[in-house]
Structure 1
Amino acid sequence: MRFAITSKGDTKSNTLMHKMRSYLLDFDLVYDEEQPDIVISVGGDGTLLYAFHRYSSRLDKTAFVGVHTGHLGFYADWVPDEIEKLVIAIAKTPFQVVEYPLLEVIVRYLNGGKETRYLALNESTVKAVNGTFVMDVEIRGQHFERFRGDGLCLSTPSGSTAYNKALGGAILHPSLPAIQLAEMASINNKVFRTVGSPLVLPAHHACLLKPVNEPDFKITIDHLSLLHKDVKSIQYRVADEKIRFARFRPFPFWKRVHDSFVAD
């Protein structure tokens, strides 16, 4: 088996990374940063997001597993004291693959330039560069509303526990192939009106955002923040691709939610 390891970059994470690499090499596994079968993320959720984007072209071939070295990571199954157990499991045990839905983002431009496509594991947000954010929202080809406010957030089920939750969105189980649209400080009065609630869209429904006046936007794709100019539309839907997590023991989604937000 070929493996790669990504680290948060702090001393603790780097020490664990080097230790795991040495152990796995002793088990005759092959270290391969270009075409790994499994990627071990050592750090936090941000480290795993980095690993996901680095290997996004290999999602059908590469599985991910996380070791958290700080506060409990939502994507991390393992803690530093368990790395010997994890190493033995990787070297000796066929792992179960758990797949989570991803968000596809397609940005199209007024000048007819080539469209840009992204995949997000957690979410994508859209905000105006200057002034009030005004966007027409279409769902499944039909106009739904004209949104005015700070911005919009489109999230995956696994990402529903991240920024989406802070915006008052629902937590979705990642077995659901869906995306969620949440508002950021919408303007609602006698003149302007939005639905005012998060929307959950199934896999066969696309959400299309069309600028009303200002065509420049700050678009985030997980931890990446990008400026896009002359935007004609931004399309969101459930991606055909999925992320694959390597599971060596049960770690139910609702236990992750409990441990992250409820447990003392």
Structure 2
Amino acid sequence: MTETGIHFLDARGPDGMRLYAIGDVHGRYDLLVAMHRRIESELKTAPLSDWRIIHLGDYTDRGPDSKSVIDFLIEARERDPRNLVLAGNHDIGFLDFLAEPDADGLFMHFGGVQTAQSYGVSLSAGGGWFGRSDEALLHSHAALVEAVPQSHVDFLRSLAFSVSFGDFFFCHAGIRPDVPLGSQSPQDLIWIRDTFLDHPGLYPKVIVHGHTPVPEAEVMANRVNVDTLAWQSGILSALAVNGAEKRILTVEGKAF
């Protein structure tokens, strides 16, 4: 990166367009609905000529209702394409598991059991499963493949890895410093952590992301993190941008 960049305090959204960037949902359908209701209320109360609602990935795993989250996002995007949906590592991990059952992968070890339950399928991360050849894993995997609608698979495959508006660049995890925004790898955009989080310099745009849970939304000079561990904390956060005005929105529900 060059020495120059955009500081959060100076960053602006596009004229006449309000932006909302929603952090990691992880199966919390209740909180996603509540956030959309809050945003819709704002858009009705103080309408602008244009808007975008940007979902920053990780719709599946850990929380109780990944299936309903995906149903909701499919319907929202079909109703109005200004609902933008980006990929997270857990969403890609779900696709990977559907394609090839791996007892030691992300899906089985980090919340995929709950995702499967939302589709009416029971998986077990234990029981001596040591590889794809295990009969029980293969049986459970086949049941899940049967239960997941093709529309959900197509939706997950369609997810973009980043989007940019005004002085803001949106992705799930972050970017690799010193790589141009247009040349970032999908792997970094959904997985990167320390190299990005610890970078002290400004970026060409303010990076708005999730992926790394924080107790409350984290606003830094060069980035904004809106992953507030919604599936467990019961707090879903979003960044709202209207021109030069920036705000953090939260909705709260049951904590687990």
TM range (shorter): under 0.3
Kindly indicate which of the two structures has a greater share of residues assigned to strand. 1
Normalized against structure 1, the TM-score is what?
A: 0.27
Higher RCO (C-alpha 8 Å, min separation 6): 2
TM-score (norm 2): 0.27
Which structure has the larger Rg over C-alpha atoms?
Answer: 1
Q: Which has the higher helix share?
A: 2
